[in-house]
Amino acid sequence: MVKQVRAARTRQALVRAAAEVFAADGYAMASLPSISRRAGVSAGALHFHFASKDFLAREVEDAAADLVQKMAGEARSSSGTVLESLVGTTCRLLVAMAADPVVRAGFRLGSDPSRKNGPGVLAWWRTWVHERVAEAREAGELADDVSPEGAAAAIAAATVGFEVLGGADRDWLCEERAAQFWAFVLPRLAAFPQQAMATVTGAGGVR
Amino acid sequence: MVKQVRAARTRQALVRAAAEVFAADGYAMASLPSISRRAGVSAGALHFHFASKDFLAREVEDAAADLVQKMAGEARSSSGTVLESLVGTTCRLLVAMAADPVVRAGFRLGSDPSRKNGPGVLAWWRTWVHERVAEAREAGELADDVSPEGAAAAIAAATVGFEVLGGADRDWLCEERAAQFWAFVLPRLAAFPQQAMATVTGAGGVR
């Protein structure tokens, strides 16, 4: 049992270290020795858990998608409407892109040309945003004259763009930026903008 | 004179080949031999024009910024208002991101973690969008209750995000997408949305 706990910790340390190296140097330049060194484990231990850099990257991508899904679940449970949960999730995501190397690396790997194994987290996120906006339309939460496709594309693209611009300037990834973005988008998008805005402007920022 | 023309053509072929390789494989994986082969020139000719991969990348970034500046100038001369020129430029840019490897690579290099020499084209584009939105405010073209900072951030982030999402799916980079984006954004942004929209909905799409 103790051995299993230790193995799980080692695996977690490797995923975090890999995420840090992938986000900082890109997939091509990330070396397995630099990842095992950063995780404080031997090269042998790395190879015991991950047969290749590709497996390590997949694990980072899966972990990032899981984390975003968890944020979405939390935003959902504290929200009254679909739009509130969409706003809450993107706000949490922008903050996590700055604070959590796994989330940042998950999105980065999706746009890294040296990582050839599909768009991963990006495709998942794009689909997730589209589904939420469609759901909001079904629930009568969107303004009548707004196109769900256009809105979903703008929201998905902007969140991905915030991460890219945040690579050079962390100021792009914070609650204030997220609130500013939604203050711009919601009056056009929502049937009842003020209700959805409550998610970002509640006491303490993002709830 | 003939020699100068030939040298200029070689240089241009190298910049285009480098852009294609940077956009496809990322900065780290792009090799000088693969660039000279693609350009159809010798390794010696490449080294005569560019002392290193860094110089080649800078030239691609400069060329991309020049191209976007040219698009902005064209959009400006065919536009009546600042917002129309902003709409026209982003529409041209999205199309060019799909069609022109130099423009695509310029933006890609800005978010490539293996390229360490600053954000280049991204920083330039971000500033350019901010300046246009501020100018539109000055000219009384923005809706009274809109924040120029929030609007500029959303527009800059979304255009960058469209390029990233277009890496896996070119459908994100076309006139229709651009029109859809502005159809979503302008009713909130502009004091006179229909006038600015004319730029994207004119006969033949983007003018």
User: Tokens at residue B153, please?
Assistant: 């951030």
Contacts of A149 in chain B (CB under 8 A): 180
Q: Scanning every residue of chain A, which has its alpha carbon at the shortest distance from the alpha carbon of B111?
A: A164
Tell me the per-residue pLDDT of B32-84, one tens digit each, with 9 for 90 and over.
999 999 999 999 999 999 999 999 999 999 999 999 999 999 888 887 899 99
Closest CA to B57 of B20, B9, B22: B22
Tell which of A164, A170, A197 to mutate to test the B interface (max B CBs under 10 Å).
Answer: A164
Tell me the per-residue pLDDT of A129-162, one tens digit each, with 9 for 90 and over.
999 999 999 999 999 999 999 999 999 999 999 9
User: Tokens at residue B78, please?
Assistant: 């065919």
Contacts of A114 in chain B (CB under 8 A): 25-26, 28-29, 114
Say what the pLDDT of residue B171 is.
83
User: Tokens at residue B43, please?
Assistant: 């390794």
Report chain B's terminal Cα–Cα distance, integer Å: 37
Domains of chain B with bracketed CATH: 53-201 (1.10.357.10)
Say what the pLDDT of residue B204 is.
40
ipTM of predicted assembly, 2 dp: 0.88
Say what the pLDDT of residue B1 is.
62
Check whether A78 has a pLDDT greater than 70: yes
Check whether B155 has a pLDDT greater than 50: yes
Q: Check CB contact under 8 Å for A184 and B123.
A: no
* Residue B1: Cβ within 10 Å count: 5
Q: How many CA atoms lie within 13 A of B105 on its CB side?
A: 26
Q: What is the mean pLDDT of residues A89-97?
A: 92
Contacts of A147 in chain B (CB under 8 A): 180, 183-184
Q: What is the average pLDDT score of chain A?
A: 88
CB-based contacts of A44, cutoff 8 Å, min separation 6: none
Restricting to B residues 154-193, those with a Cβ less than 8 Å away from any Cβ of A are 154, 156-162, 164-165, 167-169, 172, 177, 180-181, 183-185, 187-189
Distance CA A183, CA A136 (A): 18
Distance CA A152, CA A132 (A): 8
Q: What are phi and psi of B142, to 5 degrees?
A: -95, 150
CB-based contacts of B53, cutoff 8 Å, min separation 6: B27, B30, B32
- DSSP secondary structure string, B129-161? HHHHHHHHHHTT-B-TT--HHHHHHHHHHHHHH
